[in-house]
Amino acid sequence: MPGMSMTSLPPRIALQLFYEVSIVLALVTVLFVLYGYWQSRRFPEPVDGDLRDPYDRSRHWLMQGLGALWLLDGLLQAQPLMVTRFIGGFLAPLLSGQPAFLAFWIDVGVKLWSVNPVLWNVFATFIQIGIGLGLIWGHPDRGQRIALWVSLAWGVVVWVAGEALGGIFSGGGWLTGAPGSVFFYMVAALLLLPSRDWWRNPRVTRAIEWGVAILFAFEAFLQAWPPAGWWTASGIQGFVLSMAEMPQPTFVSAPLYAWAHTLGRHPALWNAILVGGLVVLTVLWAVRPRHRGVWWLTVAWVFAAWWLGQDFGVLGGMGTDPNSGAILILGLMAYGDRVGLIRLPVFHKVSQPHSLPETSS
């Protein structure tokens, strides 16, 4: 429109432009997917792996799950409020309380997005959809590897300018999902990029176990850090109430309101319980990570935080991802299958020789 910048477009016109461009790109995406499927049927290529083997099966589930999360993130980026309120309602508030070096990069992101918010939102939507499709349906030796590299590059941008490093410098903690879901996306991508022989190395299993222990120790530190405010009612109860007040079904919000009421009565006690639980999990993952009870306790602990702290991440119209709970549960499922604690379902098989599973220690 002559004489009108992209940032000054009325919300209705901005939304119309966004969805017009998105429909065209969606059609192009569908055509590419159909063409890729047709080519795969005409010229089937062998896939290295056997889903009867726990190593290949756990890797397959992690790859597919990571792709599904990126695909969901792309669809969430296409919500109407992402076009009309993304800068003021999401990016700009990230600047509060950040150190200078991080505030600089967030401000760069705000200014770049302000130049053309409609087209930037289209780009963000479809790069994430593209990553997801590449991880789910791409060939392991080409499409999936390209998608993993792109996810790492885009992940750095999102983690710095879009998540402010998960809020670790501005009061983030276990309940908020710090250090951010995209951080865990990148960790998963780094685990999936090397060869399958590397994936089978017992040292990788032990590195994952120590990584989880270090994560819980770091979360305990963030949750216990006094300046973060988690020991006060205004800090811990106020955060949970802000989640409960988001537009969402009653069955999701009712437990949040009850949890917030409980936190308000004894905030210091409940935060001490949270910190203590994280310390216990740190020790358990350092000394008995392959115990079935430890695994189930961890899954329950993560799910509780995902619901009662992160509010599943996607509700309210401004959620850009399901937060850290989803990717952590996915990682725990893949790890559990890898070490024989659970067996993930197999929906199709690729017949190749496979090795014996790693024995527990």
Is residue 49 assigned to a domain? no
Flag whether pLDDT at 329 surpasses 90.
yes
Is residue 344 assigned to a domain? no
Main-chain dihedrals φ then ψ at residue 360, nearest 5 degrees: -75, 150
Contacts of 236 (CB under 8 A, 6+ apart): 175, 229, 230, 263, 267, 270, 271
Q: In which domain, by residue range, is 214 found?
A: 17-44+57-338
pLDDT of residue 2: 39
pLDDT of residue 17: 74
Residues 7, 125: Cα–Cα separation, whole Å: 18
* pLDDT top residue among 245 and 48: 245
Flag whether pLDDT at 48 surpasses 60.
no
338 CA to centre of own chain? 21
pLDDT band (50, 70, 90) for residue 28: confident
Instruction: Report which secondary-structure segment, H or E, holds 18.
Output: helix 11-42
What amino acid occupies position 76?
L
Is residue 9 assigned to a domain? no
Predicted confidence (pLDDT) per residue in 265-322, tens digit:
999 999 999 999 999 999 999 999 999 999 999 999 999 999 999 999 877 667 889 9
Flag whether pLDDT at 60 surpasses 70.
yes
Flag whether pLDDT at 79 surpasses 90.
no
pLDDT of residue 218: 98
Q: Is 9 helix (H, G, I), strand (E, B) or coil?
A: coil
Is residue 34 assigned to a domain? yes
Flag whether pLDDT at 34 surpasses 60.
yes
Q: What is the percent of the chain where pLDDT is above 70?
A: 87
Nearest Cα to Cα of residue 331 among 189, 200, 197: 189
pLDDT band (50, 70, 90) for residue 1: very low
Q: What's the pTM value of the predicted model, to 2 decimals?
A: 0.89
* pLDDT top residue among 42 and 147: 147
Q: Pick from 23-27, 32-36, 136-140, 242-246 the range whose average pLDDT is largest.
A: 242-246
Is residue 36 assigned to a domain? yes
How many structural domains are present in the chain?
Answer: 1
Among the residue ranges 26-30, 84-88, 153-157, 227-231, the one predicted with the least confidence is 26-30
What region does 337 belong to: left with phi over 0, alpha with psi -120 to 50, or beta?
A: alpha
Predicted confidence (pLDDT) per residue in 350-361, tens digit:
444 444 445 444
Flag whether pLDDT at 340 surpasses 90.
yes
Is residue 354 assigned to a domain? no
pLDDT of residue 118: 86
Residues 58, 309: Cα–Cα separation, whole Å: 28
Is residue 125 assigned to a domain? yes
301 CA to centre of own chain? 17
Quick one: the chain helix, strand, coil %, rounded to 5? 70, 0, 30
Q: Is 361 helix (H, G, I), strand (E, B) or coil?
A: coil
Is residue 27 assigned to a domain? yes
pLDDT of residue 40: 62
Mean pLDDT (whole number) for 323-336: 98
